[in-house]
A and B are shown apart, each in its own frame.
Chain A
Amino acid sequence: MRLEQDIRVINKLGLHTRAAAKLAKLCSRFESSIEIASSKRRADAKSIMSVMMLAACQGTELKMVVEGEDAAEALRQINDLFESCFEERE
């Protein structure tokens, strides 16, 4: 299964260090390959360094490409994480 979705960074600090860590940690739990891309760069969402290099600040539009058996569940949980502003008080 291959799923694509646009996702927007809504939290104030953007994909900062701790947020990138949470995203990479979450993505690593899934079998699927997960790519996340800004207009300038692609990143392996399981690699914290790679995610940080997107330098995605608040308002950035990102494209997720998830491929594998658990793609739907992965995408759902990724959405939840973004929507919860990475579970941080702002």
Chain B
Amino acid sequence: MISAIAFYLFALMTVFAAIMVITAKNPVHSVLFLILAFFNAAGLFVLLGAEFVAMILVIVYVGAVAVLFLFVVMMLDISFSELRQGALQYVPIGLVVGGILLAELIFIFVGWHIAPSAMDNRITPMDQTVQNTEALGRVLYTDYIFAFQVSGLILLVAMIGAIVLTHRRRPGVRRQKIADQNARRPQDVLDIQKVTPGKGI
């Protein structure tokens, strides 16, 4: 009972927050609503017994991604209302399209059943004594090593991409070159001259 109430609470809050993200006038508010949506989604995960994923969601998305968004939004002075000006005329058609898709999905949901073999096909850590995190750890590097490693490659590409697209080498920037500094010898840079009094150099 309590879990049901909690579920609907979290679910409704998630949907509400998601709507607010795209309707809020102030971009900072949007990001804050996004954080709210993430929190509620984390709540849903906890209800499912997936506390690890819930915590990761909070740490990564709320703690890092959303805050990064917040910084970007605050630092770049973008007028979102201007950007959104043209989009308003697409609301009716968007509503119609979304409505149809929604109706169809509801239709599917109503008539939903699972395949006879579906229950046998499930791969779940049935061992209840094991903790969530440990269970994930057990399969992540064994059964799912392939997906895991390819994900790693994706992240590598993402990193390369980010560097390629943003890194700029500006001329005229003075950098510290430690090797050069260490290699400096007095005789290269110093010139000892005898100064005759009264004459100057």
A binds B: no
- Seen from chain B, the residues whose Cβ lies within 8 Å of a Cβ on chain A are none
